[in-house]
A and B are shown apart, each in its own frame.
Chain A
């Protein structure tokens, strides 16, 4: 823990952690300092210079200067006020007067600060440069005329998202008049000088070719980057914000559904867009653009309801997935207790089993880490997760710590991710064969384990061997050279050539035999030859370690062993381990429901096909509300029970109505919130008592944290490693970016389709083009897919999505993530 310091800002004493920026301290203490360009959780860019303050008599930028104990800070004085006023005047030079149609109007920081500084006249001018607006991608629209080059977009894309898809480039504007340098306030001039030269553009070419997360839209203080779908649809102030939680993955990001009547003709509410508090949480494209998956125009169909009640009464099995709330999971559990039906949810069952095995070594019922600790760490390892697609926010953490905490990382995954190595220079990617996740975890134990059981230590040492290698070293060698020089005789003025001897150091390559220790684990995993040397460098000054364990491990046939190994990392190494729950509420369901292995007899499916299907997609026998139409809670990756609200109305029956018909219901679904079992770590809190916000001091004030339970644990027992990974043509069960489930598929802005996804090299090698139809066979099951290349992966493994219920990938893959596949064109 860093030590606590005290600073005085405008006479108010503020306590803060050492190393915190002045601006953040001020914000945490509700002291306002004007600032545009700084984004918390990203590096300061010093583009706007509005955040000037006086600290101990010196002018400093508060977003960039770390507070020292006892500092005296004043946020304003005459000089600073002049600077700020001039800065805002400069921002308004040549800014189009189009607030009337601009999407940002009403929530525009340029508007706000222009008003704040009371800019009612202009002192500066310069010739405008032709800047044309462009569409950067299927979701992004950029209007450089409105851009104030605060660089928030490029910063968030690089420091948080990890795509670095946009950059600051040359504008080609006129140079500023020289005399201004003297006449203008200094910082305003410097800001303008840079502004006049720069503009934002995609990294290469005309398109961003990025993850389309839309975070740049969110952070843009002006209307320069806007969503193409939302553009000109509604003014910001007409939309009602409903604080909620994204229901697409286990991160459970806080979002606002923004809603309004559909049109003058149709007074029914529609969700127009999703926004986020970008200083505290960053969304992915699914959360931002996948909002309209509601079950529309449903009314109470009594006949179907009666049939559903009968079906539930006679059902031997209830099948469901983990895209449900905690309350619904509890209702299902209550129904099971009443009717004796089996609860079958393979996803949550795998997770439940995994955590049971995990606890048998770690001694706790849950993993110890969370995303917050991941963002604070400086060394991160990911095993068994296709991070970019599976868990966007875990990937943001992986990337963010490279940029902000001078971090390092190891990325173990069979699908080579083209971006991982660009996160930072201290990232090593192991594109190992599928099935070697255990080797990766063993390697982590070997590298970081303290007080390992003796047999494990011996086993791990067995992988090490010594070898002599010839290395080429560069040594500096001294050589003597004869150089001709022309010398002038001082007296005669005559020039003559003399030969002089000169000593010189030249680099020379020498070959040397050295004895080095190598680790067969590294070789098995396809690591670099000089791994040890690289790692030594990476480990310098590292204090906080994080391990992400992904769905590959949970779905593996060796899940039990992998769980124990992952738990061993928590037990023997100083690591925050996070076992990423595979679906939104996998963690909640696995805690709340007694799950059964096998289905039998007549079944009712909830959002899954059954003999009688309850469905929130509108395609079942009885309609249910989708997750954007429900109140309730999720248990997310941070082991936090977070509330969500209904973004949009729903007119049909809910699961609670069915439960009422069976005699186990409550007045409302959210009445179950306070009944969530305390012995599992939940709290007996009412739904309405759960907050859902971030505070100015960056604290996550959402719901509550699960209490961690203890369980019996034993030392890790030796597990023999499978030395061979999977061979042959391999398919991986994974979704394209932004798609997670049948609900994201229904969102109109998310366009990725069911296809056979492969790397560009794979497509070239096999003579395939985008759109080609191929017949795939996995475990004797044949299906036809179109080919789609993904230029962000490399290697020969293809991936097949499971978000589209018309392709039952979970069944085809038998619950695993890897399978051999044969692909025939045509």
Chain B
């Protein structure tokens, strides 16, 4: 696709249409009339009617979720804060430190430290995602060849800091929670027909 149309910032020569905005009040009197009109128009009473009807019916029929004490269940494809999964059989970490997630991340917010460990393997010593920059696009989960990084359902990431980091400890399935780790056809998981797509490699033995 050519980007030319986007690069042409010469407004007016393209096919732009000007939309006429409604005229805003000018004199103080006009402003005052607008406020009074809006305050006492029907809409206010429509809203109040709903509130009072519900109040009269009592709590049994209320549908309000008492967030944050109560949370709605979230679908497996929901793309919220990441989790690093472990292998169910051995409890070893799945992440091999290939760095593909780090590379693909378009917000450039994934970083990892790796090293040559005592068992001559690549060990991921630390892994972090800067949630202040993450746009939850899900590319990392999609690219991960080990199904190690996935998006979880935890969506609360309000923070007192602009840059809010999650580190490996926050994301990695704890040992005691391994039995609760869920495998799901969520974001980044293999497709159902993955087997069919794979070409077989001949083996000599």
Closest CB in chain B relative to A337 CB, distance in Å: 49
Per-position contact with A for B87-128: 1 when CB-CB < 8 Å, else 0? 000000000111110110000000111111000111100111
Q: Which of chain A's residues have a CB closer than 8 A to the CB of B120?
A: 133
Beta-carbon contact of A100 and B199 below 8 Å: no
Docked CA distance A169–B123 (Å):
33
Contact call B167/A264, Cβ cutoff below 8 A: yes
Task: Report which of A122, A133, A237, A264 forms a contact with B202, defined as CB distance below 8 A.
Answer: A122
A121 touches B114 (CB 8 A): no
Residue-wise interface mask of A (121-133) relative to B, using a CB-CB cutoff of 8 A (1 in contact, 0 not): 1111111000001
Residue from A123, A237, A264 within 8 A of B128 (CB atoms): A264
Interface residue ranges of A516-548 to B (CB < 8 Å) = none
Say how far A121's CB is from chain B's closest CB, in angstroms.
Answer: 5
A 245-263 binary contact with B (CB < 8 Å = 1; else 0):
0000000000000000101
The 9 closest A-B pairs by CB, nearest first: A100-B98, A235-B99, A125-B202, A101-B122, A232-B122, A125-B204, A232-B116, A122-B201, A121-B199
A105 within 8 Å of B (CB atoms): yes
Residues of B with C-beta under 8 A to A124? 202
- Chain B residues with CB under 8 Å of A13's CB are none
Residues on B close to A: CB < 8 A?
A: 96-100, 102-103, 111-116, 120-123, 126-128, 145-146, 167, 199, 201-205
Decide if B103 touches A238 in the complex (CB within 8 Å). Answer: yes
In the complex, what distance in Å separates the CA atom of A174 from the CA atom of B205? 12
Residue in A101, A105, A124 whose Cβ sees the most chain B Cβ within 10 Å:
A101
Given contacts A238-B102, A264-B128, contact A232 B114 (CB under 8 A): yes
Q: Which of B103, B122, B127, B145 contacts A237 (CB 8 A)?
A: B103
Q: State whether B116 touches A100 (Cβ < 8 A).
A: no
Contact B202 A101 (CB under 8 A): no
When chains A and B are docked, how far (Å) is the Cα of A121 from the Cα of B98?
A: 23
* A234 beta carbon closer than 8 Å to chain B: yes
Q: Knowing that A232-B116, A235-B103 are A-B contacts, what are 6 other residue pairs whose CB atoms are under 8 Å apart, sorted by A's residue number? A: A100-B97, A101-B97, A101-B98, A121-B199, A232-B114, A238-B99
Query: How many residues of chain A have a CB within 8 Å of chain B?
Result: 26
* Closest A residue to B199 using CB positions: A121
Which residues of chain A are within 8 angstroms of B112 by Cβ–Cβ distance?
264
CB < 8 Å A-B pair total: 62
Contact A127 B205 (CB under 8 A): yes
Interface check A466, CB cutoff 8 A: no
CB pair B97 A232 closer than 8 Å: yes
Let me know if B199 and A120 touch, CB within 8 A: yes
Most buried by A among B103, B114, B127, B204: B204
Do residues B167 and A125 form an inter-chain contact, with CB atoms below 8 A?
no
Which residues of chain B are near A264, meaning CB under 8 Å?
Answer: 111-113, 126-128, 167
Q: Which residues of A contact B127 (CB under 8 A)?
A: 264
Query: Could you list 7 A-B pairs, sorted by A, with CB under 8 Å?
Result: A100-B100, A101-B96, A123-B202, A231-B116, A232-B115, A238-B102, A265-B126
Is A233 an interface residue when CB atoms closer than 8 A count as contact? Answer: yes
CB within 8 Å for A234 and B98 given contacts A125-B204, A126-B204: no
Contact A233 B114 (CB under 8 A): yes
- Distance, CA A601 to CA B39, complexed state (A): 91
Question: Closest CB of chain A to B124's CB: distance in Å?
Answer: 10
Chain B min CB distance to A552 (Å): 42
Nearest B residue to A127, CB-CB = B204
Which A residues lie within 8 Å of B199 (CB)?
Answer: 120-122
B98: chain A residues within 8 A (beta carbon) = 99-101, 105, 235
- Across-interface contacts of A235 in B (CB, < 8 A): 98-99, 102-103
Chain B: minimal CB distance from A235 (Å)? 4
CA distance A123 to B204 in the complex (A): 11
- The residues in A between 184 and 239 inclusive whose CB is less than 8 angstroms from any CB of B are 228, 231-235, 237-238
Chain A residues lying within 8 Å of B99, measured Cβ to Cβ, are: 235, 237-238
Contacts of B203 in A (CB 8 A): 125
Flag A96-130 by CB within 8 Å of B: 1 or 0 each: 00011100010000000000000011111111000
Distance A101 CA – B114 CA, assembled complex (angstroms): 10
Nearest residue in A to B95 (C-beta to C-beta)? A100
Chain B minimum-CB-distance residue to A100: B98
* A234→B111 CA distance, assembly (Å): 11
**How far, in whole Å, are A105 and B100 apart by their CA atoms in the complex?**
10
Q: B-facing mask of A262-283, CB < 8 A → 1, else 0?
A: 0111000000000000000000
Residues of A303-327 at the interface with B, using a CB-CB cut-off of 8 Å, are: none
Closest CB of chain B to A119's CB: distance in Å?
11
Contacts A105-B98, A235-B102 given; does A100 touch B114 at CB 8 Å: no
Closest B-chain residue to A122, C-beta based? Answer: B201
Tell me the nearest residue of chain B to A263, going by C-beta: B113
For residue B205, which residues in chain A have a CB less than 8 angstroms away from its CB?
A: 127
Whether A263 and B115, one on each chain, are in contact in the complex, defined by CB atoms closer than 8 angstroms, is no
How far is B198's CA from A120's CA once the two chains are assembled, in angstroms?
A: 10
- Chain A 118-177 residues near chain B, CB threshold 8 A: 120-127, 133, 174
B202: shortest Cβ distance to chain A, in Å? 4
The distance from the CB of B188 to the nearest CB of chain A, in whole angstroms, is 15
Q: Considering the chains assembled together, what is the distance between the CA atoms of A233 and B126 in angstroms?
A: 12
Known: A127-B205, A234-B114. A100 touches B145 (CB 8 A): yes
Please name all residues of chain B whose beta carbon is closer than 8 Å to the beta carbon of A233 when the two chains form the complex: 114-116
In the complex the two chains form, what is the Cα distance from A120 to B199 in whole Å?
8
| Chain B residues, CB < 8 A from A238 | 99, 102-103
What A residues does B96 contact at CB under 8 A?
Answer: 100-101
Instruction: Find residues 57-82 in chain A having any chain B CB closer than 8 Å to their own CB.
Output: none
A125 CA / B123 CA spacing, docked (Å) = 32
Report the minimum CB–CB distance from B87 to chain A (whole Å). 15
